[in-house]
Amino acid sequence: MEKIKATNFSAHSVAELIDKTNWANDFQWSDILLIGRYFTAYEAERGQIIFYEGAKADYMGLIVSGAIRISKTGADNQVRSLALLKKSQTFGELSLIDGAPRSGLAEATMKTQFVITTKRQLLQMAEDEPALAFRVLWKMAETISHRLRHTSFKLLDIPGPEN
């Protein structure tokens, strides 16, 4: 992450941030307290780049407040907005899982607070709390599946499930 600094929050404070999101609805507070140990809080100002298209990274973020625009440069070198992600939405899941370069640019469109987990943190969770890590990965898989289905419907230009 370019020039975006982690906030100096305790694991309990990070858990409280996560608990403010809808993402936390599938977990008990005791689980969220544990999850907070494996995430780090960040803040970005409006216009700050969180990551660049093509950058190597292995983390996923969860937006606590604010918004992040995901954009991609087309073959014609035009930058196109793909999505505007808001509170409770995640970003970067694919690179966390496969380590491939980022497929788009992520930019804060307003002051944005988010938490991230890295591949290293997620693997540590899997070692320390395997059942909980499985549930976190399952939640990520559901998000990726939903986005893939949405993209498929958009590509085919047929009515499909709403976001």
Find the mean pLDDT for residues 27-52.
95
Tokens (6 digits) for 16: 């409280």
67-95 confidence digits (pLDDT tens):
999 999 888 888 888 889 999 999 988 88
Give yes or no for residue 99 having a pLDDT over 70.
yes
Taking CA atoms, 34 is separated from 2, 22, 24, 65, 146, in Å, by 28, 17, 12, 21, 26
100-150 confidence digits (pLDDT tens):
888 889 999 999 999 999 999 999 999 999 999 999 999 998 888 887 777
Please give the Cα distance from 9 to 105 (Å, whole number): 26
Please tell me which residue, 103 or 154, carries the higher pLDDT value. Answer: 103
Q: Are 67 and 108 in contact (CB under 8 A)?
A: yes
- Best CA proximity match to 19, nearest among 93, 94, 92, 115: 115
> In the prediction, which pLDDT does 1 show?
47
Q: State the CB neighbour count (10 A cutoff) for residue 101.
A: 14
- Best CA proximity match to 99, nearest among 117, 115, 119, 114: 119
